[in-house]
């Protein structure tokens, strides 16, 4: 009991946390730590870390939603990244499906020049999700762009509905062979045999028909967000918390983390801000929002 009492004396509840402590929790979120690992690293109690997630997630989502408008992008790449909530699709029941559990896809749109991930949507991978996502993308752009997606069919109608003829749109359709034989085949992707570039609308420059940056960003998300880690129990249990963690991660990526190639943050490269944000600045936005409420 003495040892437990000594440990509990270091655990700080949410309403007692300083800006520095909350900034530390935010950084742990963005660096791929689980909620319990974040609690151990920061000394905050688990419930405090859990309760902080929707607050910072909603702030990050709302701030980026308002800030990423009238963007002067030239080339946009879009892709989707798979995860699951609660359980995988083959194990989901009707009751769990009604709660948002099962396979979960995060659609992302990235500016190929600034590497800014300016739009994302968490949902299914069907035509309705594609429509919602593309309508959101179109509403954030100030000019005609060249867009590249993979060969996922729902993109075709979604892009046409959102942009009409005011876009140079191409698909990069990859051709896959059969997965290799062996015990690890189900965890290995099929071998990519090649790719075909197909102009869908307008006059896209074939030299820039690519989804490489978007696919690399998917790897960043999978490595930097614990809920996308494969073959673990770190998956999200609630779709709302999955959305909050994606928003918090992308806030840190866009504003706080220096891009290795650009040597500035994507938000700086896009002209949205003039400096690298500290995590404390994000927490200050949260406090300002709470005071204004």
Q: Model-level pTM?
A: 0.89
CATH code for position 46:
3.30.420.10
Q: How far apart are CA 31 and CA 249, in angstroms?
A: 8
Domain assignment of residue 147, given as a range: 2-292
1-44 confidence digits (pLDDT tens):
344 433 333 444 455 789 999 999 999 999 989 999 999 999 99
pLDDT at residue 230, rounded to an integer: 85
How far out from the chain centre does Cα 189 lie?
22
Strand partners, 159: none
Interatomic CA distance for residues 88 and 122, integer angstroms: 16
Q: How far is CA 65 from CA 72, 146, 224, in A?
A: 16, 22, 21
pLDDT digits 0-9 by tens, 223-244: 999 899 888 888 999 999 999 9
Q: Which of 88-102, 157-171, 184-198 has the lowest mean pLDDT?
A: 184-198
Reference 42, options 58, 26, 59, 56; nearest CA is 26
The tally of domains found in the chain comes to 1
> Which tokens sit at 229?
């880690």
């Amino acid at each position: 009991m003495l040892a437990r009492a000594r440990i509990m004396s270091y655990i700080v509840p949410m309403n007692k946390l300083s800006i520095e402590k909350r900034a530390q929790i935010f950084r742990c979120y963005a660096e791929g730590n689980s909620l319990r690992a974040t609690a151990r690293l920061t000394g905050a109690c688990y419930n405090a870390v859990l309760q902080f997630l929707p607050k910072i997630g909603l702030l990050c989502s709302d701030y980026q939603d308002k800030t990423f408008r009238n963007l002067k992008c030239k080339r946009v790449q879009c892709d989707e990244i798979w995860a699951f909530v609660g359980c995988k699709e083959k194990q989901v029941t009707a009751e769990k499906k009604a709660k948002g559990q099962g396979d979960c896809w995060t659609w992302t749109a990235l500016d190929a020049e600034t590497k800014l991930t300016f739009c994302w949507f968490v949902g299914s991978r069907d035509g309705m999700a594609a429509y919602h996502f593309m309508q959101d993308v179109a509403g954030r752009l100030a000019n005609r762009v060249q867009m590249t997606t993979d060969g996922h069919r729902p993109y075709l109608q979604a892009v046409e509905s959102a942009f009409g003829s005011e876009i140079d749109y191409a698909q990069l359709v990859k051709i896959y062979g059969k997965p290799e034989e062996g015990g690890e085949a189900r965890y290995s992707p099929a071998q990519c045999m090649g790719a075909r570039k197909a102009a869908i609308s307008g006059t896209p420059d074939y030299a820039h028909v690519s989804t490489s940056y978007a696919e690399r960003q998917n790897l960043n998300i999978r490595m930097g967000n614990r809920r996308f880690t494969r073959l673990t129990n770190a998956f999200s249990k609630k779709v709302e918390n999955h959305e909050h963690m994606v928003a918090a991660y992308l806030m840190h990526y866009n504003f706080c983390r220096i891009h290795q190639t650009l040597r500035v943050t994507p938000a700086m490269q896009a002209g949205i801000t003039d400096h690298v944000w500290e995590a404390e600045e994000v927490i200050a936005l949260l406090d300002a929002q709470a005071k204004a409420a």
